[in-house]
Amino acid sequence: MKTSARNMFVGQISALRESTILSEIEITTATGLKVVSIITQESFTNLNLTMGMTVMAIIKAPWVVLVKDESTLKTSARNMFCGQISALRTDQIMAEVVIDLQEGTKITALITEESARKLDLKIGGHICAMVKAFSVILTVG
């Protein structure tokens, strides 16, 4: 499978919660990173998901929200990944930010250049990436 999405996490389903409309799936990668996805019950059934099954979680870079001081932040985003900025590329409109997470995974965000300026982003700086569980797409092989 080829995809234009920058962020892909392969792992096993480590927790499931189902309702009549939605299903919440937690994936744990080999490095211990946990990613939560919420999909429709119809998609859950179509994918035939079960505990321990290997799946891929995909997150498009524009869906990643960056925050600097996570200690005072209250948010509804289920996924928060903190790390160090390892690459930063900007132009007049956008900024591409690559974050190295402590367990070795990378996550990429695309934000506006104005937001990057306001956050005063620098290579080596600490940053957290947030992603709503509804923005995590699941695929199976």
Instruction: State the alpha helices, DSSP H only, in the chain.
Output: 41-47, 113-119
Is residue 115 assigned to a domain?
yes
- What local confidence, expressed as pLDDT, does residue 107 receive? 98
Residue 2's pLDDT band (cuts 50, 70, 90): confident
Indicate whether 68 and 44 sit together in one domain: no
Residue 74: inside a domain:
yes
Region 77-85 average pLDDT: 95
Give the global pTM.
0.92
Average pLDDT over residues 25-31: 97
Residue 111 is assigned to a structural domain of this protein: yes
Q: Is 23 exposed, middle or buried (0-12, 13-18, 19+ CB in 10 A)?
A: buried
Quick one: 105 and 66 in the same domain? yes
Residues 52 and 89 in one domain: no
Q: Is the pLDDT of residue 139 over 80?
A: yes
The verdict on 52 and 65 lying in the same domain is: no
CA 67: distance to chain centroid?
13
Residue 37 pLDDT greater than 70, yes or no:
yes
Same-domain status, 82 and 125? yes
Q: pLDDT-based confidence at 71, cuts 50/70/90?
A: low
Mean pLDDT, range 50-58, rounded to an integer: 98
The number of distinct structural domains making up the chain is 2
What is d(CA 93, CA 109) in angstroms, rounded to the nearest whole number? 14
Considering the domain boundaries, does residue 1 fall inside one?
Answer: no
pLDDT for 116-134, tens place per residue? Answer: 999 999 999 999 999 999 9
Domain that holds residue 100: 61-131
